Amino acid sequence: MKITDVQTVLLSGPSTADPFFLEARQWRSVALIEIQCDTAQTGVGETYAGYFCPEVVPAIVEFYRPILIGADPMDIHTLVRRMVQCAAYWARVGLGPAVQAGIEAALWDLKGKLLGLPVYQLLGGRHHERLPAYATGGISNWPMDRLKQKIDFYLGLGFRGFKIGAGFYDAERRAEVPAPSLSAIVEQEASKAEALRAHIGPDVAMIMDGHMGNPLGEAWSLQTARAVLRALEPYDLLFYEEPLPYTDPWGYAELRQSTSIPIAGGECLSTLEEFRHYAELGSFSVAQPDAAWSGGLSEFLKIAQLFHARKQRIATHSWGAGVAQMQNLHAGFAAPNTLILEIPPAAGPLHTELWGDSLVMRDGYVLPPETPGLGVHLTDALKARYPFVPGTGEFNSVPGKLLTT
């Protein structure tokens, strides 16, 4: 059995069907990798790099393509080792491992289809009968009544947990609601948490997200993050995600020691070695690897084991499209210490048309998929419906490069 072709598929389409998220972000771009073998089976994987910089992904896939053509698709560990070794100088972290994650996922999907097994079984078997899920909500919509409507919408979809971002986003002005001082930031976040906890009651999991300490404006300092988390302690957060930039793992460690709220992070760390630095410093209470970014499913499980050995949990990060979602779902079921899964509520067509019936949620819990491989389907019809539109990758707007979609 040999690999006969490796191709990148770029798509663009609606970011989501969530009307509240659409107030801030209407489009998404997707980078998928297809691997074909001489049995006519095709494996599909996704790199989360396609959400941010899709135009660069095909060139990196082409760099790795000669390693794969003619090789045995069942020998995944050898192929991953060769990709890592070949690009060791420039791909030690960042885009190299992120694109490798998509390629490796396509190999696992192909192997699962050939053997008739879901990928989590190939990764050592599942550790959970079901896993709780939370609705990933992005921005905090303004005003507060609008945010409450958003949470009610998520609970109406069957979720028993949700995550919202720091700050407030005013859709009419297409700008953040100002909080010009430390006291204003603290008041804004505390009053939000207080109102939401009163609205939802004690039994719904609430997560807040600092977006790398840069909610909608300048990055938070350690002083700001410490003051915000101190004010949030009465409101029973499941965890607080990314209160600081990733340039300050020491600040994460210090912050974690100063609050009772579990500190989470890791979504843009791309390798085990990056996570190891944070683990050894004690920076995270909950680690958040992404199987479409953090080097792949195998690397994800090494990261999970790193924190499991320290009696700490992981929570999947997953805001890629439908294939990335399924990569994280399989990795979450294969990891022994998964706390919760991140799920896009009211998912858009670039989620649902790719995962089909494979993602099943009941009573706020995701069930392990039974479909061979990742449980995804990429058809020519889907490719035709969502042709790639250059410039639909997400970035932080700055003068000279403003986000308009």
CATH of residue 26: 3.30.390.10
Do 254 and 343 lie in one domain? The reply is yes
Number of domains in the chain: 2
| Mean pLDDT per 10-residue section of the chain, whose length is 405 residues | 97 97 94 95 97 98 98 98 97 97 98 98 98 95 98 98 96 92 97 98 97 75 97 98 95 98 97 98 98 97 98 97 98 98 97 98 97 97 98 86 71
* Assigned domain for 344 exists: yes
Looking at residue 295, its pLDDT comes to 94
Q: How far apart are CA 64 and CA 82, in angstroms?
A: 9
How many angstroms separate the Cα of 176 from the Cα of each of 7, 165, 224? 40, 11, 18
Is residue 397 one of the residues assigned to a domain?
Answer: no
Phi-psi region of 192 (alpha: psi -120 to 50; beta: other; left: phi over 0): alpha
User: Quick one: pLDDT at residue 217?
Assistant: 67
The answer to whether residue 40 sits within a structural domain is: yes
Q: What is the pLDDT of residue 403?
A: 73
Does 352 reside within a domain? Answer: yes
Tell whether 159 is covered by a domain.
Answer: yes
Q: Which domain holds residue 203?
A: 121-367
Grouping H, G, I as helix, E, B as strand and the rest as coil, residue 25 is coil
Is the same domain home to 171 and 271?
Answer: yes
Tokens representing residue 173 in the block: 């002005």
Single out the residue of 89, 64, 69, 67 nearest to residue 78, CA to CA: 67
Among 28, 51, 10, 25, smallest CA distance to 349 is for: 28
The pLDDT, as a whole number, for residue 106 is 98
Same domain, 63 and 10: yes
* 36/42 Cα distance (integer angstroms): 4
Residues 6+ apart with CB under 8 A from 165: 137, 138, 139, 140, 208, 209, 210, 211, 215, 216
Alpha-carbon distance 167 to 217, whole Å? 9
Are 273 and 218 part of one and the same domain? Answer: yes
Do 105 and 145 share a domain, yes or no? no
* Domain co-membership, 22 together with 136: no
pTM over 0.95: yes
